[in-house]
Structures are given as structure tokens and as C-alpha cells.
Amino acid sequence: MDTRSIVVYKFGGTSVATPERIINVAKRLMAAKARGEKVVVVVSAMGDSTNKLIELANQVSNQPDSREYDALVSTGENISAALLAMALIDRNCPALSLNGAQAGIRTTDIYSRAKIMDIDCSRIQSELDAGKVVVVTGFQGVTPHDDITTIGRGGSDTSAVALAAALKAKTCHICTDVDGVYTTDPRMVPNARKLPIISYDEMLELASLGAKVLHPRSVEFGKQHQIELVVRSSFSDDPGTLVKEISEMEEGLRPVTGVTVDLNQARIAILKVPDRPGVAGTLFGHLSKNAVNVDMIIQSIEHDEINSITFTVHKNDLEIGKKVSEEFAKEVGAQGVVFEDNIAKLSIVGVGMISKPGVAATMFKALGEHNINLKHIATSEIKISCVIDQTKAAEAVRVLHDAFELEKETV
């Protein structure tokens, strides 16, 4: 059996928001089937229907029970999947919908952010062999005790890539409301260029940094199982952006692939922390226990040999982050806590920067020439991030896009 011809498609909430759009998706899938593909399609809930369900949950309970919450919000995907299967069958294309349980998607039992453990593809496989388009609900699975779980927001991307891996599909098409991955946000930089190809690692950095086209977990999964991801429009036949492992030769082409900015960060600094062993461990332990995700961390040695510890968190976590930090400051006898939320985290990403020295220098020089002050710097192998004043964010993105000539096909 040639499992290589299985292709997985994922359509997000915007793409199935109305009956007309569902019919449009059905037609695209019928074209794929006519091309000889064995089609598996993963759908999200229609438009904002999940939010309406969450509203209901909050109206009947102060703290919705997590098991019931998942049973509730997963119904959105059941609806869109059944409607899409109906639309296909009505147009003489054999199809059926499968929910998480029926599709054999087994997860851990951590509700609302379950992890997919394995997928028993026997039902999907036999329906494909019978010539059907198989429509699978995204975002959901079941525990070993058959309780319904959801795998977190943006989870339908992950469902699709996990299914592609389990079915040994070569490619997973993520069809969405943008037509690909750009060098930066085209609303900020009009000459931003759509990338024909990008590596998993770059996509991962871009996804984590706020380019909302692909959920980071789905990219990790794709990389791990070497599934090629295609990010493309639900509404056109444009080829989109291919996300795959890029060879060293290809890597050499360009040091920087994209520029990204995150306006939802805040910065907390704890001043004059006594320099005792394990003191940083205590702080970040407290933050973690309170579910505060910490991003860029700097621990600086001041002239009087006492540290200040600075880090960034998501704005939503600022209040709890401040509270934990202030308690910690009291506990260890630090001088105090200051914070700032009018910041932007600006990053350049590119697998090519590993082998090209001077990328950081180019970045800092370009920003400096435009009087954009750097408050905080952090780097990884394929990314350089810095914190700047939020009012300078749009300008800074344009400056870097120009400095690295990202609008051009090749450097």
C-alpha cells in the first residue's frame, strides 16, 4: 500500500467560519482527491464559535471544571467536521467525519493542554482505502479512559501534523487566512516578502516570537517527524511557504530570514539582589510554580558586586510576576522591584547567521543609527532579540528589514 500519497490538510476557524466557506473547502478537497491524493483533513471550530461556548461555561460556573470544559469546547470541531463531510458527500465525494475518539487520537489526561501520545490510524486508514475523504476534528483527543481532552489553543495545527506523522504522510498543508510566511509583518513593512521556503528552526523562532501563522508545537512535531509543512491560503491556489529541513548549502544563502516584533511583553527587574548561591533558582522556581512563563533573562553584576535580575514575561503575567518578585525581594533582602510594560521585543531570525559573523553588529549598528536604544539583549544560535521602547517598534522593524535587504530574493 502506497501510504506516500496520503496528504493531510488543515483548515482553521476563519476558513470554515460560514456554510459558504465550508463549501469552498469541500471543493478544494475534491480537487485534491481528483489529483490522486488520499485526503485527510483536520478542521477547527467555525469562526468564533469556541468563544461562545467559553462564554456559556463562564455563565454557569465561576471556575469551569477542566474535564467538562474540554467536553464542551470540543463540540465546536464536531460541528465543523460533520458539516464539511456533509458538504463533500452532497457533492458526490465519499467522505466521513471522525471525532478525536473515533480517529484514535490518544492523549494524556491533562485537560485543556493534553499531549497527543499516539494515534491508532486503523479506522482512518480503512476509510481512506475505501476511497473516502476523512475529516478529523482538530484540537481534541481522548484519554485512555475515553474522556475527551483538548490540546490547547492553536491545537488543530498540531493535530494535523501529528496525523500526518502517524499516517506517514510526506506533506501537511496548513490552510489559513494568510498566504504564507513573510520576512516580517506586511502591515508594518509594505515591501515584506513572502518566503518560498523556511527551515523548521526558523519557523519555530518566528512562531514563538509572535508570527501567528503556525503553532510552535506543530512545527516541533513536523521537525521531529520530518513532515513538510506548507503554509498557504484557504482561499487561493498560491503555493504558500514550504517549511522543511534545510540543507547546509541552502542555509548558507542568507544570514537573516525574518524580522519579528512582540508587543505583548513586559519587563521586570529586581534590584540589588544579594549574591547568594541558588538565589536565582529560588526566584524562577517561585515564578514557575505560579505558572509565569519567563522569557529573556539577564543577571548582571553591578559595581558593588550585587546582582540585579531582569527578565521579560507576557503582559498577561505581569501582575502575578510582580507579586511573586516583590515577595521574593522581601524574602532575600533585595532593594526593590521595578517594571516596564511599554516595551517591544524585536528579533531577527535566520539559520544562516551561525556561519556569518557580524550579524549582531549589523543589527545593533542599524538600530543605533536611528537612535533606537537597546534595553536588553538575548541571543540563540539562530536568533538575536533585543528589548526596545514600544513607540520605536514599527520603525525598528523597517530599519532591520532594510538593513538585511529582506525584500530582495537573494542577497
Point out which residues bind a second copy (CB under 8 A): 19, 22-23, 26, 53, 56-57, 59-65, 67-69, 71-72, 75, 78-79, 81-87, 89-90, 96-97, 99, 101-102, 146-148
Minimum CB separation of residue 63 from a second copy in Å reads: 6
Rounded to the nearest whole angstrom, what is the least distance from the CB of residue 172 to a second copy in the complex?
24
**Closer residue to a second copy (CB): 72 or 169:** 72
> With respect to a second copy, which residue has the nearer C-beta, 71 or 377?
71
Query: Shortest gap between Cβ of 73 and a second copy (angstroms)?
Result: 9
Taking the complex as a whole, the smallest distance from the CB of residue 114 to a second copy amounts, in Å, to 16
Shorter beta-carbon distance to a second copy: residue 89 or 374: 89
C-beta of 52: minimal distance to a second copy in Å? Answer: 10
Give the 3-state DSSP-derived string for the chain, with helices as H, strands as E and coil as C.
CCHHHEEEEEECHHHHCCHHHHHHHHHHHHHHHHCCCEEEEEECCCCCHHHHHHHHHHHHCCCCCHHHHHHHHCHHHHHHHHHHHHHHHHCCCCEEEECCCCCCEEECCCCCCCCEEEECCHHHHHHHHCCCEEEEECCEEECCCCCEEECCCCHHHHHHHHHHHHCCCCEEEEEECCCCCECCCCCCCCCCCECCEEEHHHHHHHHHCCCCCCCHHHHHHHHHHCCEEEEEECCCCCCCEEEECCCHHHHCCCCCCEEEEECCEEEEEEEEECCCCCHHHHHHHHHHHCCCCEEEEEEEECCCCCEEEEEEEEHHHHHHHHHHHHHHHHHHCCCEEEEECCEEEEEEECHHHHCCCCHHHHHHHHHHHCCCCCCEEEEECCEEEEEEEHHHHHHHHHHHHHHCCCCCCCC
For a second copy, give the closer residue by CB, 67 or 194. Answer: 67
Nearer to a second copy by Cβ, of 91 and 168: the residue is 91
- In the complex, what is the shortest distance from the CB of residue 14 to a second copy, in angstroms, rounded to a whole number? 17
Q: Return the number of the residue (88 or 400) whose C-beta is nearest a second copy.
A: 88
